[in-house]
Structure 1
Amino acid sequence: MPRPHRTAPAVLLAALLIAPPTIADEPVVLADFEGPDYGPWTSSGAAFGPGPARGALPGQMSVSGFLGEGLVNSFHRGDGTTGTLSSPEFTIDRDLIWFLIGGGGFEGTTCIELIVDGRVVRSATGPNTEPGGSELLLPRQWDVRDLLGKVARIRIVDEETGGWGHINVDHIVLCDEPPELPDERDELLARAQKAVAEAADRLGADPTRPAFHFRPPAQWMNDPNGTIHVDGSYHLFYQHNPYGDRWGHMHWGHSRSTDLVHWEHLPIALWPSQREGEEHVFSGCSAVNGDGELMLFYTSVGPGRPNEQWAALPTDASRLHWEKHPGNPLLTTRMPDGTTFGNGMRDPFIFRSSGRTFMVVGADSETEAVIPIFEAADRSLSNWEYKGILWRSPKSEMEFPECPNFFPLGGKFVLLNSPYRPVEYRVGTLDLDTLTFSPETEGRIDQSGQFYASNIATAPDGRCILFGWVRGFPEGRGWNGCLALPRELSLGPDNRPRQAPVRELEALRGRRSALDGPIHLSAGEERPIGPPSDRLELRVRLGAPGPGRLGLRLLGEDGQAIAEIVREGRSLTVAGETVPIGHDGPIDLTVFVDRTVLEVFADGGRFAATRVIPFPGGTLRPSAFAEGGEADLLAAEAWELAAIWPDAAE
């Protein structure tokens, strides 16, 4: 579909709301659904209600993308109602019929139809058939030049009673060219920001919500995006649904920090440009171009087309406001040599090496998961040349390489990706002549699938900082998701990653307690090792467990175990997730407890595990225990940590 031109909202509405024109090439508005009822249109059944809706109906997600105040929305009394809505007859005397449509994507049962001589000659549906999705209306059009002079009518159909069993339609126009649409950026961003603010006001102080991990003001978040240090601040963007606490309506939230610990929420940065056919702004990265300008790179997702890679530019020196790059799309799924990747190609990531700038993207073919590599053709970072495949895997081993990060570290190159399971790493070499990557070691960056969708930033002192999304929280609380604590990432002598929470987190330490020397635990013995709190840092050294189990417990106020970290033989179990330590000697543990989030770094950072735990509120009491045999707790320190969010502070 050609992308429509933009004009001011007042110009568009004036064009759409005038009476039928006498000049042949002016648009004819068949319906704008701005009145209190459907006027000459006739309805059957209950789905369409007594008249146009004014946005979302009770029990429905936020509806967006319609013009004016009203639209057709067949969600009256939910998805279980059915019916039709039919226009009076009209003569087709323009080349196109243009409209906005959203809702269910079921051919013949949630659709808009053009009927001529008693036959359905054109039909269109919304985009949604599976759980999730969004109530966004997008432009569609029918070419009706072959029907010029015919008498026709339009019928909007809702005969579907399951999920997404409704249809949304607005502004149906006879025209020779698609209407010029407003630049909706300010309106959509203001609407999204308002939705988040209202949700935050409703939240109050939830005692289960993380208190020193990064989180949005309210609603859903997932992948960290565009993580970068520039001009004295870390900028963190993230996947964000302003309209609910589950996935949908993907925007880019935005925050900044000077210390990786305390974060300032900024206005939402990126929004789906509805008039450009965008439904979501998916994950990506940021980079500074040759003119010193910070750019955002992301995957543009729209119904009915393959994904595209787009960019955005700041409109102010503080980088609070953004506009879409005039040259979008920068990349499509079709390469100049004829190579075509799957429609889901996504998640651009930029790295630099030997004075050259490259981009990698997650992609696939019919048989392989692949990571294509591109090189910047000039300093603008607006033009990219396809250079081939950096790395590939049979689909039998990896379905898709989401969120690829590729970067130099410790004299090697590291590839991270999120393949619908725990984030995987590969460490190896990059041939800068052929631009192919040869892995030498591989494994999981975090043992748990509740750490996902990594991203990378470089600190001013050269440290590699790893970010990741913590997932697995229940819906229905008005918030969902946070980020794992930022981690310093390095390589060990075995060319495998080492991770440690960033040293800046020590600023949160408060009351400290420590054991005086090693403690011998008899079988069945349990001892407290820190103060009761819902925010803790623990540094523990566990001796060899012998024939039994040695570990830590987090006890709730009722004395019941909320989570356990257990050493047994050559493995460590963190809240049900097994970590293969691989030896039976002593191990060091660094543990962060933040209400419902547990992060454990084991054996000098060789292993990490992130878990969402069923913390009901109140305080947690950390203890050490031995079961099935005696064992030694060699050292233990504990700190109570400060909250970084005002609603979580005591």
Structure 2
Amino acid sequence: MAALWTFDEGTGTMTVEARSNQEHHIHYVFNEAVDKPISDPLWRQGISGHALLFDGYSTWVSADASTLAFREDAMTLEAWVAPRAFEWGNEGKLSSILSYHNKEEKKGFQLGVFRHGTWSFQFGTGEEWFEVWADEAYRLPRNEWSHLVAVFSKERSEVVLYRNGEQAGHIEIPSHTTIALPDQELRIGKNNFPAFISDTFDASMFNGLIDEVTVYRTAHEHPEIEERFHQSFDGEIPNPSSELAWDRSRYDGDRHRPEYHFTPPEHWMNEPHAPLYFNGQYHLFYQFNPAGPYWGGIHWGHAVSDDLIHWRDLPIALAPEAYEVDPDGSWSGDSIIDEHGNPALFFTAGNDSMTPNQMTGLARSRFLDDHNHDLVDWIKHPEPVTLQDEHIQTEKGTVWYGQFRDPFVFQSGDKWVQLVGSGIKDGEESVGGTALVYTSDNLIDWQYEHPLMIGDVHTYPKTGDVWELPVFLPIGHDDHGEEKYVFLINPWFDGNSEYAVKYVWYWIGSWDDETYQFIPDQEDPQLLDVGEHFTGPSGMVDDKGRAIIFSITQDRRTEESRYNAGWAHNAGLPIVLSLRDNHRLGVEPVQEVERLREELLFNLDNPSTIEDVNQQIADLSGDMLEIELEIERKEAQKVGIKVRQSPDQQEETLLFYDFDEQTMNVDRERSSLSDNVEKGIQGGKVEIEDDLLRIRIFLDRSMVEAYINGVNSLTTRVYPSREDSLYLELFTEGESEVKKMNVWRMRSAY
């Protein structure tokens, strides 16, 4: 035997190679944690004893290869692996299980996984580089143990691969071929020469469980390999699903990670989308990268809730799959319940082998077969259901070919209607965003109708060149009894823009269900949230008839901060949109958020001065709070509240309303002492009545959400560097009066 790693330690940051008895370091992001307690790598139950769970971006083992006794003419490399997800395959490089190679010098060997579960053993002679790939029938399944073996034999002039005791691949090699050993460290879980995602993140890393990595000094025969496979477990191969499950406790003690807003269980999320109410449960899907806290390899994460507040994580709903409609990404979309009562998902299917690479895919739940209310199994339709035509003409220009994503589907009369985000160009010049209208009788065959609306990027530059994530929901009836709708979009910009990833715009109007036309009541776009962190809308109408919107709250952190934290982004609170008496849009958090109130910390019902209230709340502190505040203007120009304030006021974040300008603002210039945190002053127009500011504020670690007089919100992020930045202080410029103030401590949603 040349080397054996059993991973039976179960604790600590070192693993022992059994033959040499050498300890080897396990790299893991929280070995030296930032903004949370230090914790060990992720030890789990393995095929035998313990195994190591590789998180996909930070976990790997480094070993001094000089202590190992590899032969150049014969080798059997063996490992038990249970992949949790597969990388896209940047630069054509393997996500290494074991890597001891230098491909440029054509030296060494590696065993690793590639796109969609393909896998390979590769080696170099110093003169030539060989790659042996497993046959298609022996692709690795996710969330299952596989016993992988690669046998190199100079004597037999062959390399043979095995999976679970069966021959999976074979090549003949020239006689007298030997492996040239490189001057490299040996790595488990990471490629010696990984592809770079960025200056911070590496690709080419294994994601899942690895156990019993063995390198023998002889070339074993098939019967011996088959026998060893069957001797490794008792009865059936263990199911590793529970060991591979996403683990929120990994982030315990992270003082910036929200506790009662929806967060991904691990790693990266983009927008939550496709919310669905079905059989008494709310389902939420979200753009998810299981590989790490960076954009890429997008899957559909899935969670379920009884009340829109307390969420339970479920297995990934959709993943990019070979030979299906989405080999290169399962991107944003929507959900409906079809005419048979079966939930269905519409998603943007990514396929880089096609032009354009974006199209609409359809997946149906297996609920009618298995009656699983969690809706964990989805079957994709074998073909795209909507493809973008190349030359769609409109009255203002040509639909931008290649910009075609984020389907939103609803029923209108006896037709299904699908909106797809796109843009319009006049020659090479951008005109503005659009949502294209398609109709169908059966959810599979769709006919193009016309643009729902066409934007004007020159008059309204903040509305972007392309409209993503169109949402169209009924919000109530006006004074004349006419049903009104809200149409929301997320702007996308062609190239760098100071307005990118900051805003969600909307119009209120009417819907003609015979012509499938939207008639907006006003030309000017309206801003839903006047901060610069609320993006990515998605929506649904629930069983109570409420128009509910979900959003992503951009974290605006550096890549280094995300690496150290292990997660990126989270959702805002779900909000209810309604039509108010004055034809304005009502914006309020769902009432269910009150279930998170753990303790009433402060209550004021009698009018008081700012100074009196500040004395009463001087000792009140917390970073998981709900604050309900009413302040009458009187003679003041500005009123508001400072949150996340340190005792000496070195750190604080000010939320304030400017009565003269009629704007709601946040001042984050002193929100953190760290130079790596985005700061600044942001805000926007919010018209209120009667000089009475009514505001509900939700603090959740780094999250700050303010809802102003029920008509707008302001969402922002703060990352105080001091652990004592927990205090509150009311603020006024000029005379004002506090009419009401309540403060609750909030509990975790998990």
Same fold (TM over 0.5): yes
Q: Secondary structure at the match of 2:582?
A: coil
2:483 is aligned with 1:435: no
- In 2 relative to 1, CA 191–602 (structure 1 residues): closer, same or farther, beyond 3 Å? farther
Q: Could you say if the C-alpha distance between residues 161 and 223 of structure 1 is closer, same or farther in structure 2, counting changes exceeding 3 Å?
A: closer
Distance in 1 (CA, whole Å) between partners of 2:744 and 2:576 is 20
Q: Distance in 1 between matches of 2:122 and 2:487?
A: 47
Alignment of 1:641 with 2:689, yes or no, is no
Paired residue type of 1:427: I
Inter-partner Cα distance in structure 2 for 1:53 and 1:545: 73
Pair 1:574-2:663 in alignment:
no
Give distance in 1, aligned partners of 2:686 and 2:309. 29
- The one-letter code matched in structure 1 to 2:406 is D
Contact conserved, 1:285 with 1:350, CA < 8 A, in 2? yes
How far, CA to CA, are the matches of 1:556 and 1:354 in structure 2?
Answer: 54
Letter in structure 1 aligned against 2:623: D
SS of the residue 1:401 aligns to: strand
SS at match of 1:505: helix
1:527-542 alignment, distance < 5 Å = 528=617, 531-542=620-631
How far apart are residue 348 of structure 1 and its match? 0.4
Evaluate the alpha carbon distance shift between residue 427 and residue 85 of structure 1 in structure 2; reply closer, same or farther with a 3 A threshold.
farther
Cα distance in 1 between the residues matched to 2:332 and 2:241: 18
- CA, structure 1 residues 194+417, in 2 after alignment: closer, same or farther (shift >3 Å)? farther
In 2, Cα distance between equivalents of 1:161 and 1:400: 29
Equivalent residue number for residue 377 of structure 1: 441
SS of corresponding position for 2:389: coil
**Distance (whole Å) between structure 2 residues aligned to residue 37 and residue 599 of structure 1:** 47
Aligned to 1:458: 541
What is the one-letter code of the residue matched to 2:546? R
Match of 2:450 in 1: 388
1:61-87 deviations in whole A, cap 9, x for unaligned?
xx64462343689xxxxxxxxxx9966
State the secondary structure of the residue aligned to 1:614.
coil
Looking at structure 2, the residues matched to 639 and 34 of structure 1 have their Cα atoms a distance apart, in angstroms, of: 49
Query: Over residues 108-162 of structure 1, what are the superposed CA-to-partner deviations in whole Å (9 max), with x where a residue is unaligned?
Result: xxxxxxxxxxxxxxxxxxxxxxxxxxxxxxxxxxxxxxxxxxxxxxxxxx9x999
Q: CA separation in 2, counterparts of 1:529 and 1:492?
A: 37
- Is the alpha carbon distance of 1:444 and 1:530 closer, same or farther for their aligned partners in structure 2, counting shifts above 3 Å? farther
Cα contact 1:403–1:418 (8 A) shared by 2: yes
Aligned equivalent of 1:330: 385
Q: Would the alpha carbon gap of residues 335 and 231 (structure 1) be closer, same or farther in structure 2, given more than 3 Å must change?
A: farther
Q: Report the Cα distance in structure 2 between the residues aligned to 1:524 and 1:507, rounded to whole angstroms.
A: 26
Measured in 2, the distance between the counterparts of 1:205 and 1:572 equals 32
Count of aligned pairs: 500
Q: Which residue in 1 is equivalent to 2:110?
A: 52
User: Does the aligned pair in 1 maintain the 2:407–2:470 contact within 8 Å?
Assistant: yes
Map of 2:27 onto structure 1: none
Q: Is the 8 A contact 1:207 1:618 kept in 2?
A: no
CA–CA separation in structure 2 for the residues paired with 1:331 and 1:383: 8
The match for 1:140 is none
Which among 361, 364, 371 is matched to residue 317 of structure 1?
371
**1:35 Cα offset (Å):** 13
Does the 8 A contact of 2:610 with 2:737 survive in 1? yes
Tell me by how many angstroms 1:247 deviates.
1.4
| Distance (Å, rounded) in 2 between the aligned partners of 1:269 and 1:524 | 49
Matches within 5 A, 1:183-202: 197=246, 200=248, 202=250
The structural deviation recorded for 1:413 is: 1.9
Q: Distance in 2 between matches of 1:571 and 1:326?
A: 48
- Local SS of the residue matching 1:206: coil
Tell me, yes or no, if the aligned pair for 2:95 and 2:203 is still in contact at 8 Å. no
| Counterpart-to-counterpart distance in 2, 1:52 and 1:563 | 51
Please say if 1:609 is aligned against 2:743.
no
Could you give the per-residue CA deviations for residues 340-387 of structure 1, whole angstroms, max 9, x where no partner exists?
652131000012233432110101243442211111223xx2222211
> Relative to structure 1, is the Cα distance of residues 72 and 517 closer, same or farther in structure 2, using a 3 angstrom cutoff?
farther
Map of 1:137-148 to 2, 5 A cutoff? Answer: none
Structure 1 Cα separation of the partners of residues 198 and 362 of structure 2: 34
2:705 to 591, 599, 615: 599
Q: Of 485, 489, 492, which aligns to 2:573?
A: 485
Q: 1:545 to 1:483 in 2, by over 3 A?
A: farther
State which drifts further: 299-308 or 228-237.
299-308
Distance 1:37-1:634 versus aligned 2 partners, 3 A rule: closer
Q: 1:404 to 1:195 in 2, by over 3 A?
A: farther
- The answer to whether the Cα contact below 8 Å between 1:35 and 1:70 also exists between their aligned partners in 2 is no
| Aligned residues of 1:579 and 1:607 also touching (Cα < 8 A) | no
Counterpart of 2:328? 279
What amino acid is the match of 1:345?
F
Rounded to whole Å, the distance in 2 between the matches of 1:642 and 1:257 is 16
C-alpha distance after superposition, 1:568-620 (max 9, x if no partner): 333221343213234681210011111110110102x1110111111444662
1:517-550 per-position Cα deviation (integer Å, ceiling 9, x unaligned): 1122369977627832221111111121635532
Structure-2 residue corresponding to 1:362: 421
TM-score by length of 1: 0.69
Shift of 1:395: 4.5
- AA in 2 matched with 1:608: S
Cα distance in 2 for partners of 1:598, 1:506 equals: 17
The CA distance in 2 between the partners of 1:438 and 1:564, in whole Å, is 39
**Alpha-carbon contact 2:647-2:727 (below 8 Å) kept:** no
Q: Which residue number in structure 2 is paired with residue 415 of structure 1?
A: 487
Which of 229, 232, 248 is equivalent to 2:277? 229
Distance 1:162 1:431, change over 3 A: closer
Structure 1 residue 207, shift from structure 2 partner: 2.3
Note if contact 1:525-1:625 (Cα within 8 Å) is conserved in structure 2: no
CA 1:267–1:543: 2 relative to 1, 3 Å: same
Matches of 1:332 and 1:232, distance apart in 2: 34
Q: 1:530·1:637 contact (CA, 8 Å) conserved in 2?
A: no
The CA deviation string for residues 226-257 of structure 1, in whole angstroms up to 9 with x for no partner, is: 10111111111111111111211111111111
Question: What's the secondary structure of 1:54's corresponding residue?
Answer: strand
- d(CA) in 1 for partners of 2:243 and 2:202? 26
Compare 235-244 and 580-589 and name the one that shifted more. Answer: 580-589
The residue identity in structure 2 corresponding to 1:373 is: V
Give TM-score scaled by structure 2 length. 0.60
Aligned equivalents of 1:87 and 1:517: distance in 2? 81
Q: Which residue of 2 aligns with 1:623?
A: 729
In structure 2, what is the equivalent of residue 343 of structure 1?
Answer: 402
Q: Percent identity?
A: 25
- Contact 1:527–1:625 (CA under 8 A) maintained in structure 2: no
Structure 2 distance, partners of 1:37, 1:447, is 50
1:517 aligns with 2:619: no
Q: Secondary structure at the match of 2:594?
A: helix
> What is the SS of the residue equivalent to 1:70?
strand
Question: Which amino acid is the alignment partner of residue 393 of structure 1?
Answer: G
Aligned-pair Cα RMSD in Å:
3.7
Q: 2:337 aligns with which of 278, 282, 288?
A: 288
